[in-house]
Amino acid sequence: MAESKRKPNLAKTKVPMPEQDPQARVKNFEEVALGYTPAQAVEEAKRCLRCKEPHCIDGCPVNVQIPEFIRLIEEERFVEAYHKILEMNNLPAICGRVCPQENQCEKLCLRGEKGEPVAIGRLERFAADYAASLPENGGKPAVRDSQPKGRVAVIGSGPAGLTCAADLAKAGYRVTVFEAFHTPGGVLVYGIPEFRLPKSIVQREIENVKSLGVDIQTNMVIGKVLSIDELFAQGYDAVFIGTGAGLPDFLRIPGENLNGVMSANEFLTRVNLMKGYRFPEYDTPVKVGRRVAVVGGGNVAMDAARCALRLGAEKVYIVYRRSEEEMPARREEVHHAKEEGIEFRLLTNPVRILGDDAGWVRGMECVCMELGEPDASGRRKPLCKPGSEHIVDVETVIMALGTTPNPLIARTTPGLELTRFGGIVADEATGQTSREGVFAGGDIVTGAATVILAMGAGKKAAKAIDEYVTAKRQG
Amino acid sequence: MNRILKKRVLAPAVKLIEVENPFIAAKAEPGQFVILRVYEKGERIPLTISDYDREKGTLTIVFQEIGKTTTLLGRLEEGDRILDLVGPLGKPTNLENLQRVVVIGGGLGTALVLSQVKEMHKKGTRVDCIIGARNKDLIILEEEISPYCENLYIATDDGSRGHKGFVTDVLKKLLDEGNRYDRAIAVGPLIMMKVVSNLTRQYGLPTVVSMNPIMVDGTGMCGCCRLTVGGETKFACVDGPEFDGHLVDFDEVIKRTGMYREEEKLAMELLQRSLEGGL
């Protein structure tokens, strides 16, 4: 289509994406957002102004060529649009669903200055889902078939590890990914619930990564069954550590070991990875009481609260010690949670969990908070209001307070420099750690963050690993 | 990988399997455990590594069929594979600098202490072993463990073998007779470990117990296996599974172990119904 004849869609708002009705969806684990039809996608793609100097790309941690793929959608060349995204992003159907686009590409979109930005995330999702609906994804980009440039071990098969592995495979490396769980995907399979990210989609994108020649070995806990030094001894040229931030925090308040208190990690792993919501068809049980409190204000808290509702809880509370403004969760997640009837108990902090003689939770004592001066995180510090103690009537408490890095690898790898919070020190641009040939990226370096930031780190590390191994083999 | 090379029935519902997994066999140490899953919809359960053979690349696991997963595991035969097997997990037992140790194994516990006893024997530690069971048919691995023990005592609830009564009766007698040990190692039912710990506390005998709580991942991720030790919360999977028996809050552990009892019962009933239906 000639540029002169093109008439952009000047609607101020995004083409709405169909969603399951809140009343219906709280009774199932099926996906909430249903995705664009081809006609809707083309309509939304027309909202792109094709800026001469597009800013959206600067907001993407993996540099997807956004205006180009949107143009291909507008021209109804959907499979080519998918391949355009794949050049930079190996997991588009996942990113289209879980990236915080509002803080990244869409934040920088010119259309956002007067109205809503172009729905880049929805379009990315559309292109990936469209291709997946065709046999062989509508034809795969060619895989190079030459002498491998070297061998790389990737530890962890979450977003950072998968991205690093896929990029290295594309660059001509033999890559082995080691995963501790029985299923690859990391937080994409154990953490993010089915209704936000269907596991069949994660599996599909992992199959795509495997089709690049990446070998994934499950049930391998590196640091226990093999050390990083042993991997080098086996002939790997470099190692990438993308083991995430897997250890749950607790509040360290009385009653936390009562039956009915769980970390969000445990709850979500039971529900998502082990499919506890389908017990007894699946063997792993998961239990929620009639009333459930989820403590925390991040995306994980929203996920846990919404899962609890779908498991049959009558009342689910989000208990958060600051106000809604300080909540780290995505707006969209908060919105969905409210729509589904989750009650927000803000400026509320638990001080003790009460139990019965058999050891089960019977309530949670909380205090009310008020906001004081900004603290180290820049957010206003919550202060306890004296005399505001009250009991929230619950049978289940889920702690979604954040996570810290797993020390298994750090403890078994001499010479690896660590941060104060137990993460691995790595160069931001390359992922290089204090050990030669060892790179790291994702939550193990930054602490708990997002899928796409981990992918960005995996991508940078893949490039640095390629340079390192090439130089080493030449030298 | 994960192929069952040998299977033995040690007692009613108690089975021993030798599983091929050279990676885990190369690294396993006494006191560590594996997590396994038997089929695609199955649960992840932790089981102690009873013994290992680095040269053959095998692990020995002894288990009792008490729930759905262990029952399904018990139906696997030689040549079958275990779907998922991950390990070695947990910290190994510290067995350094021990002159004389008393080991108490209740029920399945005898199987679980086998690798510790062998290792201590290798290091020149003198080991007295007390095996307890409900009756003589439930005494397992007596022949396997006895060559490594200086003295082996047996206690059965019904008196059909050895002392009639509990392992703690035998232990108390040994201690009252003036036997001095550097350490007691107690592995078995929670209530037995609690009673042993209460007894040895009175004698000032340091006591190590091995916890086997409900776990999901086994690498510190979920915190399901947490317990209170000396007033602090610990994760059995990464901080244990062995702890100072004098500091463990056994009552809390016992309550937490029963957390999913109703669901476990339901899963077992459904399994039995489907097995009877010939499925």
Tokens in use for A231?
Answer: 């991997």
Helix (H) or strand (E) holding A303: helix A299-310
Burial of A384 (0-12, 13-18, 19+ CB in 10 A): middle
| Per-residue model confidence (pLDDT) at position A355 | 96
Q: In sequence order, what E strands does A358-442 have?
A: 361-374, 380-384, 390-392, 396-399, 403-404, 438-440
The pLDDT of B225-232, averaged and rounded, is 96
In chain B, domain spans: 3-89, 100-257
Q: Which residue of A has its CA nearest to B220?
A: A247
On chain B, the residues whose CB falls within 8 A of the CB of A304 are none
Q: In sequence order, what E strands does chain B have?
A: 3-11, 14-20, 33-37, 45-48, 51-53, 58-64, 84-89, 100-106, 126-133, 151-156, 163-164, 183-187, 207-210, 226-229, 232-235, 242-244
| Cβ contact A279–B263 (<8 Å) | yes
| Per-residue model confidence (pLDDT) at position A225 | 96
Examine residue A280 and say whether the peptide bond preceding it is cis (omega within 30 degrees of 0).
yes
Half-sphere exposure of A243 (CA within 13 A, CB side): 28
| Cβ contact A274–B263 (<8 Å) | no
CB proximity B98 to A under 8 Å: no
Query: Among candidates A163, A174, A170, A184, which has minimal Cα distance to A89?
Result: A163
Q: Which residue of A has its CA nearest to B45?
A: A284
| Per-residue model confidence (pLDDT) at position A265 | 96
On chain B, the residues whose CB falls within 8 A of the CB of A220 are 23, 86
| Cβ contact A221–B69 (<8 Å) | no
The pLDDT of B258-266, averaged and rounded, is 93
Which DSSP category does A14 fall into?
Answer: P
| Cβ contact A252–B220 (<8 Å) | no
Helical spans, DSSP H, in A5-145: 22-25, 38-45, 66-74, 78-86, 92-98, 120-132
| Cβ contact B263–A246 (<8 Å) | no
Tokens in use for B3?
Answer: 């192929």
Helix (H) or strand (E) holding A292: strand A291-295
Tokens in use for B221?
Answer: 């991720």
Contact by Cβ (8 Å): A188, A196: no
- Choosing among A178, A179, A222, A284, which should be mutated to test the B contact, i.e. which has the most B CBs within 10 A? A284
Q: Which residues of chain A have pLDDT under 50?
A: none
ipTM value:
0.94
Whole-number average pLDDT of chain B:
95
* CATH architecture of the domain with residue range B100-257: 3-Layer(aba) Sandwich (3.40)
| Per-residue model confidence (pLDDT) at position A411 | 87
| Per-residue model confidence (pLDDT) at position A140 | 63
Query: B179 Cβ partners below 8 Å, 6+ apart?
Result: B102, B128
| Per-residue model confidence (pLDDT) at position A87 | 92
- Tell me the torsion sign for CA atoms A54, A57, A63, A65: negative
Whole-number average pLDDT of chain A:
94
Residues 235-274 of chain B whose Cβ lies under 8 A from any Cβ of chain A: 238, 252, 255-256, 258-260, 263-264, 266-267, 270
* CATH architecture of the domain with residue range B3-89: Beta Barrel (2.40)
Whole-number Å distance between alpha carbons of A282 and A229: 38
Q: How far apart are the first and last CA of chain A?
A: 51
Tokens in use for B89?
Answer: 């997990």
Which DSSP category does B260 fall into?
Answer: T
pLDDT in tens, A193-236: 999 999 999 999 999 999 999 999 999 999 999 999 999 999 99
Token pair 């009385």 in the structure block, residue: A254
Contact by Cβ (8 Å): A251, A350: yes
Whole-number Å distance between alpha carbons of A128 and A137: 9
Radius of gyration for the alpha carbons in chain B, expressed in angstroms and rounded: 18
pTM flag (> 0.90): yes
Contact by Cβ (8 Å): A289, A396: yes
| Cβ contact B252–A359 (<8 Å) | yes
Whole-number Å distance between alpha carbons of A2 and B150: 93
Burial of A279 (0-12, 13-18, 19+ CB in 10 A): buried
